[in-house]
Chain A
Amino acid sequence: MATESDGEEETATATGKLTGSPQLSVDDDLREMAKKAAWSVSSCKPGNGVLSLRDENLDTYWQSDGAQPHLVNIQFQKKVKLQLVVLYVDFKLDESYTPSKISIRAGDGFHNLKEIKTVELVKPVGWVHISLSGNDPRETFIHTFMLQIAVLSNHLNGRDTHIRQIKIYGPRPNPVPLQPFHFTSKEFITYSVLR
């Protein structure tokens, strides 16, 4: 039942109720994954390049400079498990530059990207959390080499887009390497690492 209701919420938000929240709230068992990834964008205005997406600064932004859809590509060094994408957008500041429809695609490379999620944003201000999980527990994570975030349209039919931050989360790795399962009991964890 729980998963079902979760799913309902997700579909509800996926149909256009995402508005963003002032706090970046992420579960403790997730961590930011994309530090080591290669980031690229389809186009950008000079001075508002791809670096602005990752500078931890909410005052700077990436601005596209070309035809839609505007793409952000994130390529990982190896296959990774991903669960959550978080964007920071601000309708109050960016107005017609604010994305309204975003598609998230995954695949091994540019040649075989598949859409896994489409969301609509309504005048969002703050962090927009986009879960990548499917309804099936087996689909909690997507296992992929590459992620593409496509801005399909903007508010007020704006042409170019502004995104201020993007973060990508996946599950934490097992603290003990090479283990099929995490340890859960105190006895095991006590002995599992040295400090």
Chain B
Amino acid sequence: METLMVDRVQSSLRLLMYSNAIFLCERLCAEFPSELNLQLLATCYLLNNQAYCAYQILKGTKMPQSRYLFAVSCFRMNLLHEAEAALCPVNEPNAEACNLSTMYFEVPNGAAGHYLLGLIYRFTGRRAYAIDHFTQALAIDPLLWAAYEELCALGAVEESNEYFNDVYAQRIQQQHLSDSSSHNSSTGSEYCSLPPSAAVNSVDSVPRQSKQFLANSTREISTLQQGVVFAKVQTTNSGTSNLSQFNTPSPAATQLSGVAPPPLCRNAQVFLNAASSDGSMKSNLNLAVQAPRRKFMDEGKLRKVSGRLFSDSGPRRSTRLSAEASIIANSNAPQVGGNGSNHSAKFLGGLSSSSSAKANLASSRSLTFKKGQSWIAESFEEGRRPEIFDDSRTENMATTSSSISMSADGRCLEQGKATGDLAHDSRLMSGTQELLGLLRIFGEGYRLSCLYRCQEALEVYLKLSQKQFNTGWVLSQVGRAHFELVDYFEADHFFELARRVSPCTLEGMDTYSTVLYHLKEEMKLSYLAQELISVDRLSPQACPRPNWCVLPMPMYQHMVHRYVPKRKKEKRKEEEEVKEESVEEDGVQRVRKNKVVEEQEEAVEEEEEAYQMFVAHSGWREVGGSQWHTYKEEGTWAMGRSNWTARNGGGPCVYLSKDWYVTLEDFENGIKCYQSALQADDRHYNSWYGLGVVYLRQEKFEFAEHHLRRAYNINPRSSVLMCYLGMALHSLKRNQEALEIMEQAISADKQNPLPVYQKANILVSLERYDEALKELDQLSESAPHESSIYALMGKIYKRLEMHEKAMFYFGLALDLKPPAADVATIKAAMEKLYLPDEMDDNL
């Protein structure tokens, strides 16, 4: 009964019927309250986005898997310290299931655990620890892209060659095997482990890794123990407590039909055949999972997860991910198959149609099955340790099962050969290398763009194949690189492509909206905002990461502009209360409610909605009671709440509010926001820059210089930053330095006219008028519509007492319609042209 329930739960999970799974699992736990079952229940809750439930269930549990799940739920609930405590307890209490390797199990779930721990450290601001753990995660699992990404974001990656190196190829191969074996042992089905791994070049020629995990436990041969022992992984024979639940007998056929997941249709056929032919054989555990996955993070998380976990989380992810356009086309397709040894053999055979499969049929060994042996030998001859069989109990093997497995073996081999599986080892090797090569390019590109060496990053991305390049991730990365290079048109172009390729990818869309904001593409921005909001609405909880944020300032501005009505909230609340009262009094009144009231009601709802969405999607958390502030400023509505804090906020999330504060000249709050943004991510150069500009405005030039220099050190190729740094230096009267840095800025980006203008400005203050005029003259060629150039020229000619020319240039400047403030100053300057320089402080 237990096994049946477990299977039903897992199949529900696979089919994304979480509530069903939760219900069943609760029954299961009530009936058989083991920790493994609790884990399953917690997994159900986690998948159903109910981290708080999982938290409740798992609190105080000790098994590594439980601790990992507990940490995940803590993490999702923002209880970072508890999560940390769960991941690294003072004493390692568990000796039972984690004796595979001490290295792997210091932190539960190896790479995934380290990754999670790294994230926790990062959010709690312990950079060194975070880097350490991400590096460890990468060392354990060289393909853990998410950890690499975090490392890049922390600016800790020197050379991407260090990672994704070919050296790791062997490691990865071993890992596949150790994965399967450890996986087997953790499920407690070490009787007949069949850990094959395969490299697949799938039809679309996308390099793909496919893994197969086969977990078998057969009641008849339950006394048999065979462990496959690899380099670091020692399968232990200690009968784990988890075994029992897998060993309750149940008809094989039912289970097979119940378990076989949709993607296994091909194989299911074989399964059923096998089941019918071996009907007499009672196999208890039938787990067959095919989970094509792309994300290495997932891989990491799933690694060494018990078989059940595989069977539930794998397919869920797979379906989720397969819905997206393949961003990283490296897909791993692990297959977890747990069934009677004979079934698995067939299963393998069936699989071989899509992949080169290697089967290590443990049971066959004792049978001296020649073919099988030779095949096994073949499969393991390269770069892998031959398996050492634990012979201690082989003699206990029941003859029936052996004979069956023999026949199964034969069938397997036939099928395997029929599909022409040869040279799988070299394929596996080349597959890994190919994958690593691909990741190297991605890694290099991402690293460079994190270091803001965008030009180089672009070149690296161009090395990608067309297929890879035309994916949402790459396109938006390229867009972002162009954005950082202040090439907004190109950025727009690539973001547009990215949106066309994967309209529902929200990553990078915040940058896109900023691009549109810069380009003053109000229509497009509006449209984008609307679209993204509609995407959001469809999947309100699609954000597993707490720092996820798609609504940056300009977009938010748009949203608010649309939604926030002009009257104050409290007032409307009162109105609402009044309305509610009237509704209570009699229903008739409700019908007669006049249109104005209805509109007001709608407005309230819309505002609430806008606010809710903002909160939900930006990762902002409200702390303490606070009031709404609405400002009509700068021609748009801004909405903010006092006493906000962003927990776990990535930079952009905090960043978005501060621009408001600064444009509203609320410098205090602006500075606070920038600082909290920097707390979350001290490599967020925009925040350093923002602080610098605030100080510049407040005329605290020393501070301004310091902050701008920090920004400049993070992104040393930005001509805009250089230009601002030069301005700060100029204000500090360090004109020589300022001039040098302006020169640097000019050479860094020929397109940027501002450093030239600023240089002229500095020259004016140095009274080197001729040079300044020369610069401005050239500048007016490239930017003929810039009124400030002419105004400045007029000012210089006025100083030089060349009144005619001064008048001419002031006139030109006025023609270009500067804002009213400038009109006033220029006109004043014109009128006083023939008077001595008394208005100099004005100009």
| Chain A residues within an 8 Å CB radius of B831 | 138
Nearest-CB residue, chain B, relative to A27: B820
Known contacts A29-B820, A177-B697, A191-B754: does B788 contact A183 (CB below 8 Å)?
yes
Please determine whether B635 and A138 come into contact, CB atoms closer than 8 angstroms. no
Q: Which residues of B contact A182 (CB under 8 A)?
A: 787-788, 818-819, 821-822
B117 is an interface residue with CB less than 8 A from chain A: no
| A residues less than 8 Å from B820 (CB atoms) | 29, 83, 140, 171
B288 within 8 A of A: no
Picked from B552, B553, B689, B752, the residue with its CB within 8 Å of the CB of A191 is B752
B742 contacts the other chain (CB 8 A): no
**A186, B521: Cα distance in complex, Å:** 12
Also in contact, A180 and B792, with CB within 8 A (given A137-B823, A191-B720): yes
Closest to A28 in B: B635
A193 to B518, CA, bound (A): 9
How large, as a class, is the contact surface on chain B? 35 or more
For window 4-59 of A, CB contacts with B under 8 Å fall at 24, 28-29, 31-32, 35-36, 56-57, 59
- Quote the shortest CB–CB distance from A8 to chain B (angstroms): 20
A172 to B571, CA, bound (A): 30
DSSP majority for the A interface? loop
A185 touches B665 (CB 8 A): no
**A173 is an interface residue with CB less than 8 A from chain B:** yes
Closest Cβ neighbor of B755 among chain A residues:
A191
Asked if A192 CB lies within 8 Å of chain B CBs, one says: yes
In the complex with contacts A56-B568, A181-B791, A182-B818, A195-B518 CB distance below 8 A: yes
Residues of the B chain whose Cβ atoms lie less than 8 Å from the Cβ of A195: 514, 517-518, 552-554, 659, 686
Which stretch, B187-195, B376-384, B453-461, B778-786, touches the partner chain A? B778-786
Q: Is the CB of A141 within 8 A of B824?
A: yes
Given contacts A137-B824, A141-B824, contact A171 B819 (CB under 8 A): yes
Chain A positions within 8 Å of B130 at CB level: none
Measured between C-beta atoms, what is the minimum distance from A40 to chain B in Å? 22
Q: Return chain A residues, CB-CB under 8 Å to B635.
A: 28
In the bound complex, CA of A183 to CA of B630 (Å):
29
Query: How many Å lie between the Cα of A56 and that of B628 in the bound state?
Result: 12
- CB of A13 to closest CB in B, whole Å: 20
Contacts of A117 in B (CB 8 A): none
Known: A29-B819, A29-B820. A177 touches B686 (CB 8 A): no
Considering the chains assembled together, what is the distance between the CA atoms of A180 and B796 in angstroms? 13
Given contacts A81-B821, A177-B697, A182-B822, contact A188 B786 (CB under 8 A): yes
Instruction: Verify if A112 is at the interface (C-beta below 8 Å from B).
Output: no
Can you name the residue of chain B whose Cβ is closest to the Cβ of A188?
B786
Instruction: Find out whether the CB atom of A141 lies under 8 angstroms from the CB atom of B786.
Output: no
Cα(A56)–Cα(B639), bound, Å: 14
Determine the residue in chain B with the shortest Cβ distance to A31. B633
Q: Does B442 contact A (CB under 8 A)?
A: no
Q: What total count of A-B pairs have CB within 8 Å? A: 129
Q: How far is the CA of A185 from the CA of B719 in the complex (A)?
A: 18
Over the window 467-502 of chain B, the binary record of Cβ atoms lying under 8 Å from chain A Cβ atoms (1 yes, 0 no) is 000000000000000000010100000000000000
How many whole Å from A178's CB to the nearest CB in chain B?
A: 6
Q: A36-B665, A138-B827, A138-B828 are in contact. Are A187 and B819 (CB under 8 A)?
A: no
Using Cβ atoms and an 8 Å threshold, which residues of chain B touch A194?
Answer: 686, 689, 718, 720-721
CA distance A141 to B785 in the complex (A): 26
Residue of chain B at shortest CB distance from A33: B665
> Which chain A residue lies CB-closest to B629?
A56
Nearest residue in B to A29 (C-beta to C-beta)? B819
Contact A190 B518 (CB under 8 A): yes
Q: Does the CB pair B488–A190 fall under 8 Å?
A: yes
Residues of B within 8 A of A56 (CB): 568, 630
A59 to B574, CA, bound (A): 13
Does the CB pair B486–A57 fall under 8 Å? no
CB nearest to B697 among chain A residues:
A177
**B486 engages A191 (CB within 8 Å):** yes
Residues of B within 8 A of A188 (CB): 753-754, 757, 783, 786, 788
Q: How far is the CB of B499 from chain A (nearest CB, A)?
A: 20
* Alpha-carbon gap, A135 to B822, bound state (A): 16
| B contact residues around A190 at 8 Å (CB) | 486, 488, 518-519
Complex: how many Å from CA A187 to CA B486?
A: 11
Q: How does the 8 Å CB contact mask read for B810-840 relative to A, with 1 for contact and 0 for none?
A: 0001001111111111011001000000000
User: Chain B nearest CB: distance from A173 CB in Å?
Assistant: 7
B1 close to A (CB within 8 Å): no
Picked from B519, B554, B693, B828, the residue with its CB within 8 Å of the CB of A177 is B693
B634 at the interface (CB under 8 A from A): yes
For B517, list chain A residues within 8 Å (CB): 195
Report the separation of the CA atoms of residues A165 and B488 in the bound assembly, to the nearest whole angstrom: 42
Residues in B neighbouring A141, C-beta threshold 8 A = 821, 824
Given the complex, which residues of B lie within 8 Å of A140, measured CB to CB?
820-821, 823-824
B753 x A191 contact (CB < 8 A) = yes
Residues of B within 8 A of A (CB): 486, 488, 514, 517-520, 552-554, 568, 571, 630-635, 659, 663-666, 686, 689, 693, 696-697, 718-721, 723, 727, 731, 751-754, 757, 761, 782-788, 791-792, 795, 813, 816-825, 827-828, 831, 843
Which 9 pairs across A and B sit closest by C-beta, in order of nearness?
A: A181-B788, A185-B786, A185-B785, A171-B821, A28-B635, A138-B828, A137-B827, A177-B697, A140-B824
Residues of A within 8 A of B (CB): 24, 28-29, 31-32, 35-36, 56-57, 59, 81, 83, 137-138, 140-141, 171-173, 175, 177-188, 190-195
* 5 A-B contacts (beta carbon < 8 Å): A137-B828, A182-B822, A186-B520, A186-B785, A191-B720
Given contacts A180-B788, A182-B787, could you give 4 more A-B pairs where the C-beta distance is less than 8 Å?
A29-B819, A137-B828, A188-B753, A194-B686
